[in-house]
Amino acid sequence: MEGYKEGDRIILVGFIDPLSATNFFALITFGDNDAVAEDEAVRMLKSIRKK
């Protein structure tokens, strides 16, 4: 989920495993006009893989 608050961008990501009771959430925030931070957030999210 993506949203905005007071000039910052907020990305909330859920890592849900339907076969487990263990689930995780990540929250990434950065300035809305910071293109470098946006690219880095996308890079981080794309790098996450299930083992």
* The pLDDT value given to residue 30: 92
Return the structure tokens found at 9. Answer: 């961008």
pLDDT tens for 24-50 read 999 999 998 898 998 999 999 899 887
SS3 labels along the chain: CEEEECCEEEEEEEECCCCCCCCEEEEEEEECCCHHHHHHHHHHHHHCCCC
The answer on pLDDT for 8 being more than 80 is yes
What pLDDT was estimated at residue 35?
A: 86
What pTM does this model have? Answer: 0.72
Residue 51 predicted with pLDDT over 80: no
Q: How confident is the model at residue 7 (pLDDT cuts 50, 70, 90)?
A: confident
Where do the domains of the chain lie?
2-47
Identify whether the C-beta of residue 25 lies closer than 8 Å to the C-beta of residue 16.
no
